[in-house]
Structure 1
Amino acid sequence: MSTMTLPAAALTASANFVHLEAGDPLAVELAASFLAEESARGGAAAARYLESDPREYETWLGGAWIGLRQPDGSPAAGAAYRRYDPTTAELAQLWTRPELRRNGVARKVLAHLEFLAERSGYDRLYAVAEPGHDVLREFLRAAGYQALGDESLEYLGFVKALPRSDYLPHPLS
């Protein structure tokens, strides 16, 4: 089955994010795409995801899961966070369709997720870049995340303080 891919600028112009729960069809498709890519890369993230409970990302447990669809309904990008501790959310499953990468799609997904985390009361967002994820390390640095250790570490944590304010304009407005 052929999937039409809309140019990234057109895709994110309207930024129709879908808030997901574990059983939503888009959530299942995004997870499958993420797992296929991680498995091909040999990344441990796929194994950890399979061992986790997808409900960890649901709102009622302090998490959030968002997806972005293409006009044909296929997944374009998505990401999730789950509660790490009372003040910190852990970023997980940041994925963008390969042909849409390096066009600002992931940045908009991350900005929306950061907005949701701040609105949910979190003070910071935490992420881990695993071995072989140099592009993720670069992406997180460019998005304002600070490395939590020596850059030579195989598993390198990153953290970003989220803005605290009574009124935070939505990043896409």
Structure 2
Amino acid sequence: MTDSFLYTSPLDPQAQPLIQALTQEYETRYGDYWGAGDGIKEMNRYPAELFAPPDGNFLLLLRDGVAIAGGAFKRYDDTTAEMKRVWTHVDLRRQGLARRVLQELEAQAARQGYTQLYLTTGFRQPEAAGLYLRSGYTALFDTAVDPEIHGTLPFRKALGVPAPAVRRTA
């Protein structure tokens, strides 16, 4: 069993099974809240180009050549990358795969010159919220109240000293 990272695009055929499964998960978790079909709208909200260098990146974690987890980031502002779609295949959860993806994306964001990260997760994704809190992210919401009150749960994290920056243009 060999795991490896692949920087690619959301349009890569290897990414499609994970993207389809994540879309279905959004529909399952939020369908009665957002409305039918809104998981598809959410997944199509951002064009693939936003997740391409120099401002973003899209990552797959492959196991023996098959995508088992992934995630991405895009530009939020001049110094901040926004993490998106960190996800693990449903049959492979609780193995630390999302943490590995998150750590790799954090390192890549720093290599691309970002000094902080921002992300949001939904109130029906307690596993994700727990991952971000355990990974050093600061909750930008009141964690003592029912998360549904907030709807979207934002987090922020400062990165260490970045590697030499790749020059980004607006």
TM-score, normalised to structure 1, is 0.80
1:58 correspondence with 2:58: no
Instruction: Note the residue ranges of structure 2 that are not aligned, 5 or more in a row.
Output: 165-170
In structure 2, C-alpha distance between the alignment counterparts of 1:101 and 1:49, rounded to whole Å: 21
In structure 2, C-alpha distance between the alignment counterparts of 1:136 and 1:114, rounded to whole Å: 16
1:40 correspondence with 2:28: yes
Aligned equivalent of 1:128 = 120
Offset of residue 165 of structure 1: 4.8
State the SS of the aligned residue for 2:76: strand
How many residue pairs align between the two structures?
153
In structure 2, C-alpha distance between the alignment counterparts of 1:77 and 1:95, rounded to whole Å: 6
Aligned equivalent of 2:155 = 158
State the SS of the aligned residue for 2:11: coil
Q: Deviations over 1:77-116 (max 9, x none)?
A: 0000010111111111111012221111111111100000
RMSD: 2.0
Instruction: Note the residue ranges of structure 1 that are not aligned, 5 or more in a row.
Output: 1-9, 168-173
Aligned equivalent of 1:171 = none
% identical equivalent positions: 32
Higher mean C-alpha deviation, range 110-119 or range 35-44: 35-44
State the SS of the aligned residue for 1:111: helix
Aligned equivalent of 2:4 = 16
In structure 2, C-alpha distance between the alignment counterparts of 1:30 and 1:98, rounded to whole Å: 9
State the SS of the aligned residue for 2:59: strand
State the SS of the aligned residue for 1:51: coil
TM-score, normalised to structure 2, is 0.81
